Structure 1
Amino acid sequence: MPTILPSRRSLLAGAAGIAGAALLSGCSDGGSLAADPEIPLDRRMRETAVRESERLLERYDATAAAHPALAERLAPLRASVAAHRAALADERSPTASRSAAPPPPRPASPSVSGSAAAAAPPAPPAPSAEPVSPMPAEALTALADAERSLAEARTISLAGAPGELARMLASVAACGHVHAYLLTSTPGAQS
């Protein structure tokens, strides 16, 4: 008897259902916000997306701190994630009042403000964050995996997102896949 495998559509629908159930049941970091039926779905989903972006920013900071030689390469991607976080933040949400964390320090030209910025260490990773590999290539691969995983989760959450938020999540997910590619490609290599 041949084995019947589930279709891609049924797998995505099931994953979207699980993600939606987790969001609505309060299984996220902001359990009280996600469980409050008075708060619109759009806002709950935005809050979750903002927290996920903040965790990704922490991973970028931890990687740049562990591998200062990668800081310049990571800076534009990190800035993009910070812009995504800001775009996802809703004006009514508590996280919107927080500004995006500053980018990791870059080698700066000697100046009063530049040397002070270069001396400031990036924000430490969250206590639950995975440790950064001591090997730069492995650290980049782990960061790419985090980008890819978040992009895939955002793609799945599109099924339950209201129109404008769905479009934003789709754009941010696409950027996450590009970031994953850029993190694992060789800089300067020709296609």
Structure 2
Amino acid sequence: MITPFPAITTEDVAVPWTLPSRPSRRSLLAGAAGAAGAALLTGCSDDHPAGGETGIPLERRMRETAVRDSARLLERYDATAAAHPALAARLAPLRAAVAAHSAALAPTPAGSPSPSASRSGGTGAAAPGAASGEPVPPKPADALTALADAERSLSEARTMDLAGAPGELARMLASVAACGAVHAYLLTSTPGATS
């Protein structure tokens, strides 16, 4: 037959009371490093930077720069079409796409209309040729090549800007950069030719 052990109570056993141990300096540093790493990862994975409002001015500056670059490109299109009227019909859809990019990239202050509502206000204000400063080549083929080079250069610059851009702006810049690369191809390809 098995005999049960008698129940032991806290009154029967003397448990010494001790102060809770303090965390070591090493464990505090490891915890702080872990918290900082988690904050950085959270900031990288979200569309908003970890610093809160610090990303808003950066995004606004990036958008304003992108709009200025698009305005310069629009001036190039206008100058090329003015110097070579026979190219105007070919350039019109590409120019319209650049104008749409400019409107989409424009920063929208709180309480103001969307970029599509104020499309005519931003890009047409500068004097033609003032920003680019480059004359249009006299031969139409050379003028198209110069315009393609401008598209390609802007596309590459926007691709490099992707690394520092917040999520939604990065996606938009990637799309606009890809479109610019297509424009460069279309400007230098022979119209109507098949591959």
- TM tier, smaller: 0.5 to 0.7
Runs of 5+ in structure 2 lacking a partner? Answer: 1-53
Question: Where do residues 1-191 of structure 1 align in structure 2 (5 Å cutoff)?
Answer: 40-92=57-109, 97=118, 99=120, 124-126=128-130, 128-191=132-195
* Cα deviation code 1:62-113 (max 9, x no counterpart): 000000000000000000000000000021299x5462658xxxxxxxxxxx
Q: Stretches of 4+ moved more than 3 A in 1?
A: none
Deviation at 1:125, TM superposition (A): 1.9
In 2, Cα distance between equivalents of 1:62 and 1:162 = 33
Matched to 1:124, the amino acid is P
* Cα deviation code 1:132-177 (max 9, x no counterpart): 0000000000000000000000000000000000000000000000
Aligned to 1:7: none
Runs of 5+ in structure 1 lacking a partner? Answer: 1-36, 103-122
In 1, Cα distance between equivalents of 2:143 and 2:134 = 11
Q: Considering only CA atoms, is the larger Rg found in Structure 1 or Structure 2?
A: 2
In 2, Cα distance between equivalents of 1:46 and 1:75 = 24
In 1, Cα distance between equivalents of 2:148 and 2:88 = 15
Contact 1:59 1:129 survives alignment (8 Å):
no
Q: Between the two proteins, what is the percent identity of the paired residues? A: 79
Cα root mean square deviation, aligned:
2.2
Aligned residues: 134
Tell me the TM-score normalised to structure 1 length: 0.65
Describe the shift of the 1:127–1:84 C-alpha distance in structure 2 as closer, same or farther (beyond 3 A). Answer: closer
